[in-house]
Each structure stands twice: as C-alpha cells, then as structure tokens.
C-alpha cells in the first residue's frame, strides 16, 4: 500500500494500464486532501508574473518595467502556509522524496512551453554540498521533465548600493558554464518567485550571451 508523502495516509492504488502491464512502479505522490492545501493560481493574477489578486500589472512588475527589465513569468501555486511548510521540509530538512509532490502539476503546466529548453536555476557549490541536491532539479526530475544545467552560481556578499539596477549588477552571481551551446529559447525554472530578482539576474546573463527569448517559471509565487 502506498502512502501520502506529506501526511502518510494510505493512498488508493492508481495504476494505469501501462504501469500494470509493464510493471512500472507508480510514482510517489500525495493524497487529495493534502493537495487541496496548496492554492493553484487562478485566472485572477498579474499578467506578467502570476501574482494572485488583481488582473492589473502588479507593483513588483511596474518597478521592473521602470528599470528597463521585462518580466514574463509563469507559476503554479501561491506561496501560502502549506507551500512554506512543504519547502521547509523539502529544502531545509532535506526530505528528497518530496521532489515528487508537484510532479503532475509541473508536467501539465510545462506542456505549454514546447520548444523552450528548461534550465534550472543553480544553487551555489556551498549550498549543494550542504543540502546534497538542487531542489529545482529534483522537482524537474520528479516531474520527468528534461532540462540542461547551463548556469552556475557563486555565493555573493550582500551589498547595499543605491538603486536596484546597481544592486543587480553588483549582485550578479550567475555565469554560463564553459562550452555551452545556447538555444534561442529558454525557460528558466526556480522554486519560489518572491521579488523576481534571482530569475532576473539569471535572465540577464543569458540575454547578454545572445539567447533571444527567455521565459521564467516557478512552482510558487
């Protein structure tokens, strides 16, 4: 008998025909009442970054726009308490099995981006050593989505310079790995979108390297 990854309650078997005949094991998943605690982003959201609430362009996106940065972000869920608890158990307590929790949702959403290379936002080598995995790669693996690691990240010291643009330049922590063939279209994937700064930094590096079209995507916004 399978158990929910989050609350350990028993799950009904949901073997598909191919799983039954090919004896493929069913992927770990969560029960429907745990899933209901996550809030999917509905139609009422900022058209640029998926922030829930108003269908107008949100204040974050307006700031980015004033500074000359474009936002084209897609997301699955709002960052509510259930999502906070999930990421705390997955990332900070290192429960690697939880990479499967959003497999189905992420796979469904990513269908819209055929033709884009999925590129996970990297973690710094220090974080990787400490955590043992990159949480974004884990989620993509759990969803069965192909991706390519073309970026690397170093830790930066927080600096408080005058404006957001200067901060972005001084805080650039991403670089492109050596000898990468860059496609024309990339979708950058992160776990949580808060101010959008991380994804904007990663996007800038790729734009400077000549990538024509870059979208961004996160599990939570």
Rg (CA), the chain: 18
4 contacts Zn ion (rule: CB under 5 A): yes
Name which of residues 55 to 94 contact Zn ion (CB under 5 A): 58, 61
- Per CB under 5 A, the segment of 50-58, 84-92, 169-177, 191-199 that binds Zn ion is 50-58
Q: How far is the CB of 144 from Zn ion (least distance, A)?
A: 22
Long-range interactions of 45-52: CB distance < 8 A, separation 24+: 48/72, 48/73, 49/73, 49/75, 49/193, 49/196, 49/221, 50/74, 50/75, 50/193, 50/221, 51/221, 52/78, 52/221
Pair 151, 122: CB distance under 8 Å: yes
- Per CB under 5 A, the segment of 41-49, 115-123, 152-160, 213-221 that binds Zn ion is 41-49
51 contacts Zn ion (rule: CB under 5 A): yes
150 contacts Zn ion (rule: CB under 5 A): no
The nearer residue to Zn ion, 69 or 174, going by C-beta atoms, is 69
- Per CB under 5 A, the segment of 2-10, 90-98, 144-152, 190-198 that binds Zn ion is 2-10
d(CA 210, CA 181): 11
Site string for Zn ion, 13-32 (x = CB under 5 A): ------------------x-
Three-state secondary structure call for residue 75: strand
């Amino acid at each position: 008998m399978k158990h929910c990854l989050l609350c350990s309650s028993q799950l009904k078997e949901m073997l598909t025909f191919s799983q039954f005949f090919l004896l493929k094991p069913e992927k770990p998943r969560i029960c429907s009442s745990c899933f209901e605690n996550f809030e999917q982003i509905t139609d009422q959201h900022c058209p640029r970054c998926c922030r829930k609430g108003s269908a107008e362009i949100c204040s974050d996106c307006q700031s980015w726009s004033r500074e000359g940065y474009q936002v084209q972000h897609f997301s699955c869920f709002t960052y509510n308490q259930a999502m906070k608890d999930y990421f705390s158990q997955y990332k900070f307590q290192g429960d690697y099995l939880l990479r499967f929790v959003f497999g189905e949702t992420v796979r469904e959403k990513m269908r819209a981006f055929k033709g884009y290379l999925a590129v996970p936002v990297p973690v710094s080598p220090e974080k990787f050593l400490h955590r043992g995995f990159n949480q974004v790669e884990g989620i993509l693996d759990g969803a069965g989505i192909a991706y390519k690691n073309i970026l690397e990240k170093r830790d930066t010291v927080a600096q408080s310079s005058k404006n957001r643009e200067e901060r972005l330049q001084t805080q650039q922590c991403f670089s492109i790995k050596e000898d990468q063939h860059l496609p024309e279209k990339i979708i950058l994937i992160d776990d949580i979108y808060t101010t959008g700064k991380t994804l904007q930094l990663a996007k800038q590096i790729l734009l400077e390297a000549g990538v024509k079209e870059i979208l961004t995507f996160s599990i939570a916004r």
